[in-house]
Amino acid sequence: MGIPDEKIFPHATGRAQNLVHAREGAADLVFHGSWFCPFVQRAWIVLEEKKLNYQWKEINPYKKDKEYLAINPKGLVPALTQKGVNVTESQVIMEYLEDISGPDVRMHPADPLQRAVARVWMDHIAKKIVPCFFRVLQAQESDKQKAAEKDLLAGITEFVEAMDPEGPYFFGNWFSMVDAFLIPWLIRQPAALKQFKGFEIPKAGSPVWDRWGLWMESCASRDSVKNTSSDQQHYLQILERYANDTAQSEAAKATRKGEVFT
Amino acid sequence: MQIACPEASGAALRTVQTHESTAALVAHPGWFCPFSQRAWIVLEEKKVSYQYKETNPHTKDKNFLAINPKGLIPVISHKGVNVSESQVVMEYLEDITGPDVRMYPADALQRAVARMWIDHIAKKIVPCFFRVLQAQEVEKQRAAETDLLAGITDFVNAMDPGGPFFFGDWFSMVDAFIAPWMMRSEYVMKHFKGFDMPQRGSGPVWSRWWTFVEAVQTRKSVVDTTSELEHYLPNLQKYANDTAQTQAAKATREGRDYS
């Protein structure tokens, strides 16, 4: 007797489906992902940006498959296997991909101090933006939802105020790790937040929201982002379970307990 | 929150005194803060030139808030940029220093392994120390103890078996990341919560663990950034009563992990 989440739609759709087919062949670098997972998409975007050769293996993290548990005892996605070593945690994988690829496909600033700035803002995204998405979507009480909305807008505002003013990306005219770290949530969440919670993040109307709208649209139209995204209706189906707070992902459970999942 | 003692003591005080003069890189640690100590250990290991400025975020000092509006420590200031978050600071120090004082493996895949275990320490070990210390009900304490021992066991099972450090005979970022809690572990758990951690004889995991703890506690950079135990106790007492007002304490009280 499994949980309903196990019956999740089994594969990518849209452009992501094409990409998955293109990445079926064996490769030295194996990327274990789930088509629907935003944490997976972070690292997937980086693989694509860096034009690395990899094999995609679809994992259903709700099924706790023994073979996969040998790779990641926590059963979470994403995971990366290369030279017999398994790497887990989206940010660790992204830093690894940066380490093994050349300066021509750099996604961190060359300057160490600016690299530190990038990591500070990735930490901010992880602690002050992403958890708020889950909190708004899973809220079952109006006051909890309002509090989460307020925190989400505050977290985003702080992030926008740190961006290069011209943009369109965080650091200006080049797409970096910071952008890849957050954009997956903006592919999935806005439609769900509007449909299930009647909430929209502003996309224009003041300098902050204009800049936010520019960032979002530029990141969303990036090839690496489009090619790793599935059709909206499939995301909405999954996010509906978050909206009625029955989802059983680790992120959902953590949010229910009032914790931050990173 | 009053910190009973406003400055470092013992070996840490000597280190502070040798880093009083102006330097391009300014570190803003609190002598009592384990998160600060991580970064301080790395500064010492790498023999970086730095100025130490004692910082107590609880006083909400205006000059400090200008540097880090969130008022958290540690922060380092270098070339006009302020870097917060202990792990980000540690990565930065690795980036600006040479291979002779390397604290990450040279191999990219092993570096990923290091970062995974740093993530594990941040999520599965350190928060448990806070939860045990701040527990006010027996069942909560027992649950936290169980989680702490499980987190430590996984960590030990990933260690180089020869040791004494995580990667074997060299002291790395992984060791520095957990080091500040080592001094607190056996004594603090026992003294404040009557929690006896399993001893050496309990099995290979615990034999390896205490070898690790001993090696880390006696590492020069760790000794040189540790103050006298008695001065940590009043702060730790506040955690034990669950009245501490640090971000870490509040998070733990609210049932959230702090990293």
pLDDT in tens, B169-185: 999 999 999 999 987 67
For residue A6 the two structure tokens come to 């196990």
- Asked if A236 is an interface residue toward chain B (Cβ–Cβ < 8 A), one would say no
Max CA pair span of chain B: 52
In this predicted complex, what is the ipTM? 0.95
For residue B174 the two structure tokens come to 């992984």
Cα A84 from Cα A63, distance rounded (Å):
23
Report the chain B residue with the minimal C-alpha distance to residue A97. B108
Residue A147 has pLDDT above 90, yes or no: yes
CB contact under 8 A, B88 and A113: no
CB contact under 8 A, A120 and B88: yes
- Asked if B112 is an interface residue toward chain A (Cβ–Cβ < 8 A), one would say yes
What is the model's pLDDT at position B2?
Answer: 56
For residue B159 the two structure tokens come to 């260690």
Report the chain A residue with the minimal C-alpha distance to residue B89. A116
Cα B249 from Cα A111, distance rounded (Å):
35
- Asked if B255 is an interface residue toward chain A (Cβ–Cβ < 8 A), one would say yes
Nearest residue to B245 (alpha-carbon basis) of B79, B91, B84, B134: B134
Task: Give me the residues paired with residue A57 across strands.
Answer: A32
DSSP letters, A172-224, are BSS--HHHHHHHHHHHHHHHHHHHHH------SSSHHHHHHHHHHHHHHTSHH
Q: How confident is the model at residue A205 (pLDDT cuts 50, 70, 90)?
A: very high
Chain B segment 71-100 residues within 8 A of A by beta carbon are 78-79, 81, 83-85, 87-89, 91-92, 95-96
3-class DSSP state of A153:
helix
Cα A182 from Cα A179, distance rounded (Å):
6
Residues of A in contact with B109 (CB under 8 A): 82-83, 85, 87, 96
Report the chain B residue with the minimal C-alpha distance to residue A122. B88
- Tell me the per-residue pLDDT of B134-146, one tens digit each, with 9 for 90 and over: 999 999 999 999 9
- Tell me the per-residue pLDDT of A65-77, one tens digit each, with 9 for 90 and over: 999 999 999 999 9
What is the model's pLDDT at position B68?
Answer: 78
- Buried residues in A90-109 as b, exposed as e (16+ CB within 10 A): bbbbbbbbbeebeeeeebbb
- Tell me the per-residue pLDDT of A178-197, one tens digit each, with 9 for 90 and over: 999 999 999 999 999 999 99
Residue B4 has pLDDT above 70, yes or no: no
Return the number of CB contacts < 8 Å for A and B: 74
For residue B96 the two structure tokens come to 């600006």
What is the model's pLDDT at position B186?
Answer: 81
Task: Work out the minimum CA distance from B151 to partner chain A, whole angstroms.
Answer: 13
The arithmetic mean of pLDDT across residues B202-214, rounded, is 96
Chain A segment 61-100 residues within 8 A of B by beta carbon are 82-83, 85, 87-89, 91-93, 95-96, 99-100
**Percent share of chain B, pLDDT over 70:** 98
**Percent share of chain A, pLDDT over 90:** 93
